[in-house]
Structure 1
Amino acid sequence: MHAAALTSPARLWSADEVLARPGPVPAAPGVYGWHFTKAPSPDLPAGRLLYVGIAPRHMANRTSAQNLRTRVRYHFRGNAEGSTLRLTLGCLLGLELRRVGSGKRMTFGKDGEAELSQWMAEHARVCWVEHPEPWALESDLITSLDLPLNLDQNRHNGFHARLTEIRAQARQRARELPIGV
């Protein structure tokens, strides 16, 4: 049931809709799925689910304070340091990853993040399913669906090695460049 709600949702939401106030995304725990009208890589299909995420994230000794609303909104307007989806998309789109601040954080810089936000506004669409313990669904979804943009728990995916390499190369280049803004 949850997989179908993400792979064939009744509705997909755009950045403008999600970022409007009041927005449609509930402040509740759950799983969200990202579809793209244009694929971020020629090696990937457009028009279907390519990535799932959860909110809140459940760790061994705590649960994050995130919910569907805060997490989905962050993916649309945050930065690569706080969003693995944004990091992946920016790397696939060829944006330059840079060390920022003290040099420990990596983002695409002000201009790159703005370019990525614009690309997502044009091509990314999201759906979600509320669930009290989304971490209980995450492994099953990643195992049973073809989600090429998910890396965690997804070594079986045919795009995993390529995406891992693309992200590693972007991080290596960023380490070689001076700290940006």
Structure 2
Amino acid sequence: MANNLYDNFDTLLHPQRLIPAREVLADRSLIPDERGVYGRWFNCGLPGVPLDGTLRGGEHHLLYVGIAPRAPSKAGSESASTLQRRICRNHLGNRIASSTLRRSLAWLLKAPLQFQISWNAAGKAIMSREDEDRLTGWMAVHAAMSFVRAEEPWQIETKLITEGPKLPLNIRDSAHPFRQRLLTLRSGKASSTDL
């Protein structure tokens, strides 16, 4: 990866301080209500997830980057999502159907945390509210985040996934070898013990 990419996104890739998920759950104002790119860091191994080539910050490894809002549609409609809404509503408080990262974590942790994952009528993976709360609790202990403000975050996200550090939990635009195994796991055709 080019050094200037690291320099441009230093607060995202090499933050002085990671913000623990438990702190965000207690005070959502720690995350700006603005557009940007966020990194999700984890302080424990996830079943089968390779850590080679990932960035490390203390005990945490950067495993995923995301954006808020998504790129405008071809018709020109834009999302009103912000970093705060995306992280606090979708990742730390909603259901697995509303967050790619949350869904991946649920499937990876299905066996060790004994999650019951099923499919709704629309074909989306779902869990009970109790399991969703346990996933949020797990994230409160093991997840942290970094972010960088950006007016057009979708341009940065693609560059980070294709040219940046290894990000084994990203799926779109990813050429990471773990991508296909994660997709298979999320399809319900394999278990995390098969990884």
Q: TM-score, normalised by structure 2?
A: 0.79
Contact persistence 2:28–2:84 (CA under 8 A): no
Aligned partner of 1:165 in structure 2 is: 184
Are 2:135 and 1:109 aligned? no
Aligned partner of 1:126 in structure 2 is: 145
Residue 160 to residue 42, structure 1, CA distance change in 2 (3 Å):
closer
Can you list the C-alpha shifts for 1:59-99, whole angstroms capped at 9, x where unaligned? Answer: 32222111000001120111111001000000001133223
Counterpart AA for 1:71: R
CA distance in structure 2 between the aligned counterparts of 1:22 and 1:87, rounded to whole angstroms: 21
Contact persistence 2:28–2:88 (CA under 8 A): no
Aligned partner of 2:81 in structure 1 is: 66
Counterpart AA for 1:99: W
Contact persistence 1:81–1:87 (CA under 8 A): yes
CA distance in structure 2 between the aligned counterparts of 1:10 and 1:24, rounded to whole angstroms: 15
Can you list the C-alpha shifts for 1:3-24, whole angstroms capped at 9, x where unaligned? Answer: 4322221111122321334621
Contact persistence 2:37–2:65 (CA under 8 A): yes
Runs of 5+ unmatched residues, structure 1? 174-181
CA distance in structure 1 between the aligned counterparts of 2:104 and 2:169, rounded to whole angstroms: 7
Can you list the C-alpha shifts for 1:19-72, whole angstroms capped at 9, x where unaligned? Answer: 334621111000000000112224333721100000001132222111000001
Contact persistence 1:18–1:25 (CA under 8 A): yes
Are 2:52 and 1:38 aligned? no
- What pairs up with 1:144-159 in 2 under 5 angstroms? 144=163, 145-154=165-174, 156-159=175-178
Q: TM-score, normalised by structure 1?
A: 0.85
Counterpart AA for 1:108: M
Are 2:103 and 1:87 aligned? yes
Counterpart AA for 2:102: R
Specify which structure has the bigger relative contact order, considering alpha-carbon pairs within 8 angstroms and separated by 6 or more residues.
Answer: 2
CA distance in structure 2 between the aligned counterparts of 1:35 and 1:110, rounded to whole angstroms: 24
CA RMSD of aligned residues (A): 2.0
Runs of 5+ unmatched residues, structure 2? 1-6, 52-58
Q: Secondary structure of 1:60's partner?
A: coil
Q: Secondary structure of 2:97's partner?
A: coil
Tell me how many residue pairs correspond in the alignment: 169
Aligned-residue identity in percent: 35
TM superposition outliers: structure 1 runs of 4+ over 6 Å: none
Residue 22 to residue 71, structure 1, CA distance change in 2 (3 Å):
closer
Counterpart AA for 2:93: R
